[in-house]
Chain A
Amino acid sequence: MLQNEQEYIRILRSRLEGTLPTDELEDIISDYSEHFTMGKENGRTDGELWSSLGSPEDVARELRVMHLVKKAEDDRSCKNIFHAVVATLGLGLFNLVFVLVPFILLVVMLLMIFVIGVLFTVFGPAAFVYSILQLAGLSAFAIWLSPVAGLFISTGITTSGLLMIIGDYYLARFFYRVGIRYLKWNIGVITGTECAA
């Protein structure tokens, strides 16, 4: 493969197209092509410049991750954070352990709290109605020792279910913010390729 300016820019462009908005893409391309131009004015060859820049694939990967994390920060959504995490995984094996594992654990935990919350908010009112039926002597068997206690307990269950769902929402927001900060720190430290020269 020919290691010259055109090829470098071509690879960079093809890897970044579709992810970065056009103006940002052109901004970056102009940086790298200026680098080649200046380098050659200073008597360096295409090959030297290529290897001191590091492979265009690596550079593109880093820029992509950076952009996706920034996007997830500015526009919070499940889709965006998912894309950012997946892109970060591409940066190295380290991140499988230190990004993917915590991410999955967090998602599972948040989902579990949500599911339990929903179950409580469904079960609570049902139990409340049942207790009333029991008080009125309409139910066949008792689920509570005393139907009056049942009214209090089912109210408690409903309330804690609702609190869990609300709390889960704030917890998710909190972890989203912390997660973004962690990803930013992570790409600041982890990425980068050893200088080939």
Chain B
Amino acid sequence: MNIQFKKGVLEICVLSVLAHKDCYGYELVSEISKRIDISEGTIYPLLHRLKDDGYVTTYLQESQGGPPRKYYQLTENGRKEEHEQKDEWIQFVASVNALLEGKNYAAE
């Protein structure tokens, strides 16, 4: 699939995964790259940007037998942003699908 498409939706994907649960980097990246074929390296810069923008914070948590892991968590702003982007996305996809399937023309 077109790289621009993927890049554009990556942010909403990251926000959505984090809305379900806090994740450490590797977990989040695997979750997303399982479904979307994108270079995993681009997710970390995105996380970094989301942190800069105040949508995401991090905290360290001990793991069994390993060094502490850095967990990513949505902030209150991040939750709001996730809701908004999700609504926009759903509407957008519905409109595009309607166009692709030619429903609008059929109705006339």
Contacts and interface: CB of A to CB of B under 8 A. Distances in A.
Interface in B1-56: 3-4, 6-8, 10-11, 24-26, 29, 33, 37-42, 44-45, 47-49, 52
Contact of B38 (A37, A70, A195): A195
B39 A35 contact: no
B69 interface: yes
A23 interface: no
B39 A54 contact: yes
A53 B41 contact: yes
A58 B45 CA distance: 11
Contacts, number: 86
B44 A195 contact: no
Contact of B8 (A35, A52, A189): A189
Question: Is the contact region of chain A dominated by helix, strand, or loop, or is it mixed?
Answer: helix
A63 interface: yes
A34 B38 contact: no
Interface stretch (A24-32, A116-124, A158-166, A173-181): A24-32
A181 to B, nearest CB: 13
B69 A59 contact: no
A59 B3 CA distance: 15
Contacts of A37: 66-67
A59 B49 contact: no
- Across the A-B interface, the 3 shortest Cβ-Cβ residue pairs: A54-B39, A38-B26, A53-B41
Interface of B: 3-4, 6-8, 10-11, 24-26, 29, 33, 37-42, 44-45, 47-49, 52, 66-67, 69-70
Given A70-B49, A192-B39, A195-B33, 16 more contacts: A27-B48, A30-B70, A31-B25, A31-B70, A34-B26, A34-B69, A34-B70, A35-B26, A52-B41, A56-B41, A66-B49, A191-B7, A192-B6, A192-B38, A193-B41, A194-B39
